[in-house]
Chain A
Amino acid sequence: MVLLKMKFTQQRRVHLAQGLWLLSWLAVMCGAFVFCLGVYLKTELLRREEVMDNTEIHVVPNILMMVGLASVGTNWVASRVCQDSLEGSRFPRWKVLLLAWFVVAALLCCLLIAAVVLSYALQGHLEESLKVGLRNGIRFYKDTDVPGRCFQKETIDRLQMEFRCCGNNNFRDWFEVQWVSNRYLDFTSKEVKDRIRSNVDGRYLLDSVPFSCCNPASPRPCLQNHLTDNSAHYDYEYQSEELNLYNRGCRQALIDYYMGLMNSIGPGVLSVILIQMSVLLSLRYLQTAVEGAMALENPEDDSEGYLLEKGVKETFEEIKANVLSMLKFRQVDPTSTEESPEAANAKKVADNTKEKAGSSTPAS
C-alpha cells in the first residue's frame, strides 16, 4: 500500500519540475540567508566575548553557518536534478545520488531544528558564562596597567553605557570590589589609610560607582559617590532614587539582548525548515513520477508518484529486517568480530541506505 499516491500526467510532471526548480533556487537563497544569520549571531557573540567565560553558546551560530552552506550546495543539486528530470537520457545518472540527497536534506532539517532547540536550552549556560565573565570584568576593572587586562575598563564602561546597565546583578556589585587602582590612591592621606585598614583584605572599598553607570535621563546631575550616605547630598534618598543610575544589571541586559536576537532568528529558521521539507517532498514525488513514466512503454503517459512504496510501518519493518539480516550475515562471518564499533555502525548505515535504494527504486 503506497503512501500518499498521486497521479501525474506529462503536463503535471513538467509543471512539477518547473515549480520545483524555482523552489530549489528559493531554497538556495534561504540557505544563504541562514548562513548570513549564523555569521551575524557569531559576530554579535564575538563582540562581547570579553565578558563571557566560555564559548558553549557558539554552537548555535556554528550549526547555522554549516547548515547554511550545506543547504546551498544541496539545493543547487536539486535544481540540477529538476533540469535533467524531463530528459530520459540524463535522469538515470542521478538515481544513485538521489538517496544520499534525501538523507542529507533530512539531516539538514534535523540540524536546523536542533539549532533552534539549543538556542533556548543553552540559555542557562549563557547566563552562567556571563555571570563569571562580568564578575571578572568588574574585578579587573582597575588593572589598566596589567598586560592582557588593560582594556577591561574600557570594555566594561562601554558595555554599561551601551546596554544601560550597571554591575553584574545591580550597582551594589561595585561596592564589593576595589575599582580604583592603587596607582591613583594617595597612601599618605589619612582617609585612604583608614579605609584600607577597615577592610580585612586591605582593599580600598567605596560606596561609589564608575561614571558609566550614570543614567542620562535623570533630571539631576549624576551622583556617583557616597551613594548610601543620604546626608552627603542635598535632597537625596538612595532608597527612593530610581533615575540616577541604571537599575538593571548587565547580566540581565545581555541575556535579554541575546534571547531577543535568537527569538527573532527563530521564525526565519523555521520557515527555512518548511521550505527545505517541501523541496524534499516535491523532489521525491518528481523522482517517483519520472521513474514510473520512464518504465512505461510510452514515456508521455500518465504515471504515479508516491512518497514511500510501502506504508510507513512496512518500510520501517523492511529496514529493520535488512539490518538484522546484515547482522546475522556478519555473525556467520568470523572476521567481523575484529571490526571496530564505528566501522560496524558505518557499515550498517551504508547497508541501510543501499537497502532503501533497493526498495524504493523497483523500476531500475
Chain B
Amino acid sequence: MPFMPVKFNLPKRVKLAQGLWMLYWFSVIVGILIFSLGIFFKIELRKRSEMMDNNESHLVPNLLILMGMLACGINTFGGKVCHDCLDPIKFTKWKPMLKMYLLLCCGFSMLLLLTALLCILMQFAVYLTLAEGLKNGIKFYKDTDTPGRCFMKRALDLTQIEFRCCGNNNFRDWFEVQWISNRYLDMSNDEVKDRVLSNVEGKYLMDSVPFSCCNPGSSRPCIQHHLTNNSAHYDYDLRTEELNIWMRGCREALFSYYSSMMNSIGALVFATIILELADMAGLKYLSTALETMVDPENPECESKGWLLEKGIKETFTELLAKLKMLGKKTNQVEEGRDATVDTT
C-alpha cells in the first residue's frame, strides 16, 4: 500500500511540473544566497581576526560556501529534469538517474542539517576565541614597535570605537595591564619611579583608560585618567557615572554581533532544508506519476503518484534486510577468500 498516494491527470501533472520547476529555481537562488552569506561571514571573521588572535576557526563559512555551491548545482539539475519531464522522449533519458539523484538529495539535506547545527554550536568556540584574543590584545596594546603587533593598538582602538565597548569584561581590564609603552615614560620622574616600584612585576599601572573607551554621548568632556579617584575631578562620582565611558565589555559586544549573524544564517539553513525536502517530495510525486501512466502512448491518461511504494514500516524493514544481505555478501566474499588463502 503506497505511502500518501495522489491521483494525477494531465492538467495536474503539468501544474506539478511547472510548480516544481519554479520551486527548483527558487532553491537555486536560495543556494546563491547561502553562498554569499558564507563569503560575508568569512570576510567578517577576517576583518576582526586580530581581536581573535588570528586563530579563529573558518569551518562554518567554508562549509556554507560549499553547501551554497552544491545547492546551486543540485537544484539546477532538478530544474532541468522538471523542464524535460513532460516530454516522454527526454524523460526516458533522465529516468535511470532519478533514484541516484533522490539519494543524493537526501545526503545533501543531511549535510545541510549538520551545517545548521554547526552554525548554532560553533558560537561557543567564537566566544572562547574572543575572550583569549581580547585578553592578548589588551596586553599587546602598547607594543606598537614590535613587528607583528604594531597594529594591535589601532585595531583595538577602532574596535572599541565601533562596537562601543571598553576592555574585555569591562573597563577595569585596562587597570591591570601597562598600556603605555616604556618609550613614552620618563623613567627619571619620581612619580613614574614610585608607580613602577609599587608593583611586584615592575609595571606602570594606572587607573586610566585609552581615549577609545570614551562615550561621545556623555554631556561632559571625557574623563579618562584617575577614574577611581573622585576628588581628582570636579563633581565626579565613579559609582554614579554611567555615560562617561562605555560600560560594556568588548567580548560581550563582539560576541552578540557574531552570535546574531550565526543565528540568522542557521535559521536560513533550516529553511533551506525544508525547501529541499519539499523539492524531493515533489520530484518523487512527479516521477512516480509519469512512470505509472496506464497507457504510455496516451498523454491524457490518469496516473498515480506516491512518496513511498510501500508503507513506512515496510520500506524500513526492506532497507534493513538489504543492508543485512549486503553484510552477508561481503562476509561470504571474505570467507571465500580466506578459504582460498587457507588452501594455498
Give residues in A with beta carbon < 8 Å to B: 144-145, 150, 153-154, 157-158, 161, 179-181, 183-186, 189, 210-212, 214, 216-217, 219-222, 224, 233-235
Contacts and interface: CB of A to CB of B under 8 A. Distances in A.
Given A216-B158, A219-B145, A219-B150, A179 B221 contact: yes
Nearest to A157: B216
16 contacts: A145-B219, A150-B219, A157-B216, A158-B216, A184-B234, A186-B234, A186-B235, A211-B224, A219-B145, A220-B181, A221-B179, A221-B211, A222-B211, A224-B211, A233-B184, A234-B185
B210 interface: yes
B214 to A, nearest CB: 4
Given A161-B161, A214-B211, A216-B157, A153 B219 contact: yes
Nearest to B208: A221
B342 interface: no
B205 to A, nearest CB: 14
Interface residues of B, number: 31
B59 to A, nearest CB: 31
Contacts of A234: 184-186, 189
Contact of A183 (B181, B211, B218, B235): B235
Contact of A216 (B154, B183, B233): B154
Contacts of A189: 234
A185 B184 contact: no
B200 to A, nearest CB: 23
B216 A235 contact: no
Given A157-B216, A220-B181, A221-B184, A211 B234 contact: no
A83 B221 CA distance: 67
Interface string B218-253: 111110100000000111000000000000000000
Nearest to A185: B234
B153 interface: yes
Nearest to A225: B225
Contact of A181 (B144, B212, B220, B233): B220
Nearest to A234: B186
Most buried by B among A154, A186, A189, A221: A221
B180 interface: yes
Contact of A161 (B150, B186, B189, B216): B216
Most buried by B among A158, A186, A211, A234: A211
Closest 7 CB pairs of A and B: A157-B216, A216-B157, A219-B144, A144-B219, A234-B186, A186-B234, A211-B211
Interface in B100-148: 144-145
Contact of B153 (A158, A179, A219): A219
A42 B221 CA distance: 32
B299 interface: no
B327 interface: no
Contact of B154 (A157, A210, A217): A217
B311 interface: no
B73 interface: no
A205 to B, nearest CB: 14
A158 B186 CA distance: 33
B217 interface: yes
Contacts of A222: 210-211
A224 B150 CA distance: 22
Contacts of B217: 154
A234 B221 CA distance: 24
Most buried by B among A144, A154, A179, A234: A234
Given A216-B158, A234-B186, A221 B180 contact: yes
Contacts of A220: 144, 181, 183-184
Contacts of A186: 234-235
Nearest to A212: B216
Contact of A180 (B158, B216, B221): B221
A66 B217 CA distance: 37
Given A186-B234, A211-B222, A216 B161 contact: yes
Interface in B78-118: none
A161 to B, nearest CB: 6
Given A183-B235, A234-B189, 19 more contacts: A144-B220, A153-B216, A180-B221, A183-B220, A184-B220, A184-B233, A184-B235, A189-B234, A210-B222, A211-B221, A212-B214, A214-B212, A216-B158, A219-B145, A219-B150, A220-B144, A221-B210, A222-B211, A233-B184
A220 B144 CA distance: 8
